[in-house]
Amino acid sequence: MNNTEKLHQAFAQGLSIPTSAIHTDLAYQGITAWDSMSHLFLIAALEDTFQIQIETEDILEMSSYQRITAVLKKYDISI
């Protein structure tokens, strides 16, 4: 599985949405499934999938698909 597939899997798992609903324009509060409650599940899914520990300040930064890919770069994960 490449990193994009992994990312989509984390999205699907964290937000409980089908992979078909995942696109690069996804943003926090942009869909009902992505709210403050599910955000922590998404962070946990990203940590699990990529075997990383996400820093506190990055949690707030990861507010859209695009921003998540940007933050993941810091952890040496390129999408």
Closest distance to another protein from the beta carbon of 13 (Å): 9
Contact predicate 73/3, CB 8 Å: no
39 lies in the binding site for another protein (CB under 8 A):
yes
Is 59 a binding residue for another protein by CB under 8 A? The answer is: yes
Tell me: does residue 20 bind another protein (CB under 8 A).
no
| Residue closest to 63 by CA, chosen among 33, 29, 31 | 29
Q: Which residues bind another protein (CB under 8 A)?
A: 16, 28, 32, 36-41, 56-57, 59-61, 63
